[in-house]
Amino acid sequence: MSTIGTIDRPATHDPMNQVPTMTPPVSETPAPRTSGAPESRQNRNREMQLIPEALARAHMHERLHEAESERTALRLAAARRMQRKAERASLRARRALAMVVMH
Q: What percentage of the chain has pLDDT greater than the value 90?
A: 48
Contact 18, 10 (CB under 8 A): yes
pLDDT tens string 3-13: 666 666 666 66
Q: How confident is the model at residue 44 (pLDDT cuts 50, 70, 90)?
A: confident
Contact 18, 5 (CB under 8 A): yes
pLDDT tens string 71-95: 999 999 999 999 999 999 999 999 9
- Taking the C-alpha atoms of residue 89 and residue 2, their distance in angstroms, rounded to an integer, is 98
Question: What's the confidence (pLDDT) of residue 94?
Answer: 96
Q: What's the whole-model pTM score?
A: 0.45
Arithmetic mean of pLDDT over the chain = 80
Could you list the beta-strand ranges (E) of 4-59.
none
Q: 30-62: string of b/e by CB count within 10 Å (b at 16+)?
A: eeeeeeeeeeeeeeeeeeeeeeeeeeeeeeeee
